[in-house]
Structure 1
Amino acid sequence: MSDIGEALTVNRYPGRVLVLARTGDGELTGVYALTGRSPSSKARRIVPGDAELRVEATGEHAHDRLRHYTAAHSDDRWTVFGNGEQVTTVFERLSAGAHPAVALDELDYEPDPPIWTPRITVVVDRRDGTAWLGAARRGGGRRESTDVTVTTLRDLAVGDVALLTTYTSDGTEVTTAPRVLDLTTTAATGDELLDLVWSALDPEFRVAAAQLSPRAGIAAVLRHAP
């Protein structure tokens, strides 16, 4: 397994980034990060709310439901974070009693040809730290139907990292990322993990990032590009 910093450094434009890790202090830590190429994608910020995180436009840029959404929700049982409006859908399904594997099913990729951005989501059970990582991607070749994958993580040892990104890219050519990456980290704390992720993102594309402790709900530490 490679280090998360190395994995993000070689992927110059990862799109949106979801990280779940067990840092050296034993805590389960999440990181959500935004990168962007266009002016509208770069004109975004992460805003904390009441048990949620929102991605909002900055300046005079208009609201766009594919770029601006609630990126994290939390209640007494669940913490959910991801890259689009499906976060609210999954959270509502969980609140209604659905199992996470069911809550993450029947989602679609984003309607943004020609990239067809995947919708990626992390669900954490606050009671025991069990996590589910979901991805809804466009089928390969000419197929337009959605492939939904759900990975259950029963436990992460100290230093283990699961990484989901929407894209794999050299900064010019963009393809959708195919799977969860199993990586490692030497970060001792959530703050260190956030710093590591932030510094690994290409300064040309990085926009914002948030570190959260999923078992504690939404208690975020934020970073924003100047």
Structure 2
Amino acid sequence: MDASAIATANLDVLRKNPYPGRGLVIGRSSVDEAWLMIYWIMGRSAQSRNRKFVVAGNTLRTEPIDTRQMDNPELLIYDAMLELPSIYLVSNGDQTRTVYDGLLAGGNFDSALEKREREPDAPHYTPRISGMLDLQNYPGAVTLSILKANQANPAKTDRFTYHPARPPRGFGVGLTTYRGDANPLPSFSGDPLLLPCVGKAEAVLDTYWNALNAENRVAIAVKQISAQEGTSRILVRNRFTAQ
């Protein structure tokens, strides 16, 4: 099976999954030299759905729609995308800021995440998924991480870091938090997924938004990054808005 067929098959698995949870993809547009960073959130509960994406400069953040209905904000409200010069970060929790601060202090991606564990939301123990695009050196490097509960003892965290090869144009690599909808939610397993990044940022946003379960999807963002110009922009789509 060639790369296009694998990516298409993985997107179809995502489309058929009622609850992949939060997900991230780092890849390259098929039509220009831009890198693309995709992040989405989903929700089954009223609290999880009580969120939207907000862009402030080059930062993507989750915010509550109705602050009166927000419990456990430390797990739901966070910076999802942050930037340092030529380094772009994305994650499904406040570990985005942990990695950002660690890099600023002279550390690295793994050493920063050593301070973090899987989320403390028993019985699901949602994995923390994180990604970094480093464009400091040609041709750029992608790093992905998942921190998830150990199967034998969920009080402990299994740590997996991946250094996939630079994807070709039109492809990306990604992680989701869950394999499906159940109680408790089953954590993602296996290697990062090869996924399509076909078209400009707007088309990619449409592709992934339409692939997510219409009942459970909450918000999606695509950051377009120009390696040559060192600039970025973020496109957002929110399902829920204030009444």
TM-score (norm 2): 0.85
Which has more radius of gyration?
Answer: 2
Aligned alpha-carbon RMSD (Å): 2.0
2:222 to 206, 211, 221: 211
Counterpart AA for 1:152: H
Aligned equivalent of 1:185: 196
Q: Can you list the C-alpha shifts for 1:65-106, whole angstroms capped at 9, x where unaligned?
A: 101111111121321110001110011001111122333334
Aligned equivalent of 2:29: 23
Aligned equivalent of 1:111: 120
Contact 1:16 1:166 in 2 (8 A): yes
Q: How many residue pairs align between the two structures?
A: 226
Aligned equivalent of 1:175: 186
Moved over 4 A (4+): 214-218
Distance 1:91 1:10, change over 3 A: same
- SS of alignment partner, residue 8 of structure 1: helix
Q: Can you list the C-alpha shifts for 1:26-69, whole angstroms capped at 9, x where unaligned?
A: 42211100100001101100111133111011023236110111
TM-score (norm 1): 0.91
Unaligned stretches of 5+ residues in structure 1: none
1:52 paired with 2:59, answer yes
Kindly, what percent of the aligned residue pairs are identical?
28
Contact 1:12 1:171 in 2 (8 A): no
1:5 paired with 2:11, answer yes
Contact 1:106 1:148 in 2 (8 A): no
- 1:173 Cα shift? 6.2
| Alpha-carbon distance in structure 2 between the residues aligned to 1:116 and 1:172 | 11
Aligned equivalent of 1:62: 70
- 1:212 Cα shift? 0.4
Distance 1:72 1:186, change over 3 A: closer
- 1:213 Cα shift? 2.4
Distance 1:109 1:61, change over 3 A: same
